[in-house]
Structure 1
């Protein structure tokens, strides 16, 4: 028997092109069955070891587990990513990974956005999920294309970067000095203001990180080490502080409380990060070079640093001298 119709109307293929090489499969139509039989006969004649591939019915959760075992565990935020991916698989009812429905994913994304998830968070999750497929395909774990390859990220409205004036900086430091129970808050804030460091980068500094007037930041967001010079006064202050209080301990909560006691109001999510924006903004306004700023901040792309370019003095003067209003007042 090669092709035979079953009682339920389907077509069963039972073919043995060569002795010991037998293939069986059932199809909805006779044409599909005939094509399968012809393929088996031709392929086995060309290569005796050939065998038709079976459908990949692994669930999304199984692929996430494989991704974490083979790649995700090596990422700094691998465990955090896996938790988000596991939650996503659960919301989608753990579909067969090769057949994940882009529309079902898009619907889940809409529901999550209406529940308060930010577009940036949702775009990050889409990137994580795509990475699972891309990494596993590169490793040969799966053979099919990424089923979400054509799903577009959400468009994000760029937010204005908040930065502090000199008066606001003075008000913030005064609030820190007068009301913080954590002795490290003021110095961590000063390091961020002096170097453009992220709060977490400043908190992780060790005595060996400061030498000859230069702070070296490691374990950064980009994974690259970068060094930024500081004033002798700040270096002495840091050294003296560590001798008295020891290494920095987590102080972000105390910083937020100090900020809340001021008249400063910042957009959601820009509390400690506003210190980094403040350094960059003042650097550019005082005539700093945009390429130098990129190196100081550790941006991998100049496009990230260009967000501050509009603050350059020349840029502001051009708005006055080159705009259409200039012709009207001469």
Structure 2
């Protein structure tokens, strides 16, 4: 490390992790000497690191995806790839090549584009992914900092009620389904399972003696429950009969005969949408069955904390979104009040007139 003069300018020459760095200070020798002392102190404390901000989006994306494939589940990586395609197309059209070019102003443009065809939740998913990538870039010394740290996610409307099926709609849906989908729908309705959770339920996950169904990770298939938490769901009489009637063709309750899941998770979504159409049920999807499980539990008087445990939600606030009540149920609840008028009250008397 040294301070030296070339022509009329003063320079500081030093190395960090074997890499040479040369910085010019013009004619200010004192400033160069002061900077060198600061460098020496930071090197002694291990606080000096080189950040190379020359990384391009395509180059870094390859590196990030290698990391993601090791640390994330296959289904999450698949979703990331779909979102990255949209992000990369946008960056390409804007002529953005380097990571350091991604800033809040650019994200405002991206937000405007996404919202033309998608809901706020979709934009939030894309934003979260970009921020995760930039965080890794900063951690791996490819950026000085994540420029999107302060960029806010969009708020989802709290007033929008989550769709759940009424008892009458459930009967219509079951009537429109073939025998296989009818069994699958009943499983969803009686457990609140997510589609990927149903796919990977094994016979060993079912304890008929204690009437408990366990949702847990299947690492060899790249599956894990949301939040990586195991949970236990009691088996009611309807679910017990349904499970006992299923043929045991292999390891899974829906098995292809070779100890592998019979269908991909998306199979259930696509076929259920056809069933909804046939049953003339509007505004519903596969996750509606999960909403229905939670909503009917709450309307039957089950407390929200218990529903949270059954659903496997990480936060009670999430479960509270499921705990809305149907208009009919609210009306019935109010009718339970027994506040009678005092005996002898004149119903024809003007309530605003003096007695």
Same fold? TM cut 0.5? yes
Distance 2:203 2:244 in 1: 8
Paired residue for 1:254? 271
Residue 32 of structure 2, aligned match among 23, 37, 41: 37
Match of 1:100 in 2: 102
How far does residue 75 in structure 1 lie from its aligned partner after superposition? 0.8
Alignment check: 8 A CA contact 2:52 2:142 kept? no
In structure 1, list runs of 5 or more residues that go unmatched.
6-11, 322-327
Distance 2:324 2:51 in 1: 57
SS at match of 1:37: helix
Q: Are residue 112 (structure 1) and residue 114 (structure 2) matched?
A: yes
Normalising by structure 1, we get a TM-score of: 0.77
Q: Which residue of 1 aligns with 2:198?
A: 202
Task: Judge which range, 89-98 or 206-215, deviates more.
Answer: 89-98
Question: Offset at 1:232?
Answer: 4.0
Q: Which of 60, 63, 68 in structure 2 is aligned with 1:63?
A: 60
Q: Which residue of 2 aligns with 1:324?
A: none
For residue 325 of structure 1, what is the aligned residue in structure 2?
none
What is the alpha-carbon root mean square deviation over aligned residues? Answer: 3.7
Match status 1:230 vs 2:231 = no
Q: Measure, in 1, the Cα distance between the counterparts of 2:273 and 2:113.
A: 31
Q: 1:92 to 1:24 in 2, by over 3 A?
A: same
Please name the residue that 1:215 is paired with.
213
- Contact kept, 8 Å, 1:91 with 1:108, in 2: the verdict is yes
TM-score (ref. length: structure 2): 0.72
**Where does 1:1-330 land on structure 2 (aligned, <5 Å)?**
2=5, 4=7, 13-15=10-12, 24-25=22-23, 30=26, 37-43=32-38, 46=41, 53=50, 55-71=52-68, 73-76=70-73, 77-85=76-84, 87-93=86-92, 94-114=96-116, 116-138=117-139, 140-142=140-142, 144-158=144-158, 159-176=160-177, 180=178, 183-212=179-208, 213-218=211-216, 219-243=224-248, 247=255, 248-249=262-263, 250-266=267-283, 270-311=284-325, 317=333
Q: Which has the larger displacement, 228-237 or 39-48? A: 39-48
**TM-aligned CA distance change 1:208 to 1:280, over 3 Å:** same
* Secondary structure, aligned partner of 1:311: coil
Instruction: Tell me by how many angstroms 1:310 deviates.
Output: 3.9
Decide whether the 8 Å contact of 1:184 with 1:251 is kept in 2: no
Q: Kindly tell me: are residues 252 and 314 of structure 1, through their superposed partners in 2, closer, same or farther at Cα, counting changes over 3 Å?
A: closer
Q: How many residue pairs end up in the alignment?
A: 303
Q: Distance in 2 between matches of 1:202 and 1:87?
A: 30
Query: Which has the higher mean CA deviation after the structures are superposed, 117-126 or 44-53?
Result: 44-53
Q: How far is the alpha carbon of 1:26 from its aligned partner?
A: 5.8
* Runs of 5+ consecutive residues of structure 2 not aligned to the other structure: 217-223, 256-261, 338-349
Encode CA deviations 1:93-119: one digit per residue, 9 max, x unaligned. 3432234222122112211221x1221
Check 1:235–1:148 CA distance in 2 against 1; reply closer, same or farther (3 A cut): same
* Contact kept in structure 2, 1:137 and 1:143, CA below 8 Å: yes
Structure 1 residue 298: deviation in Å?
A: 0.5
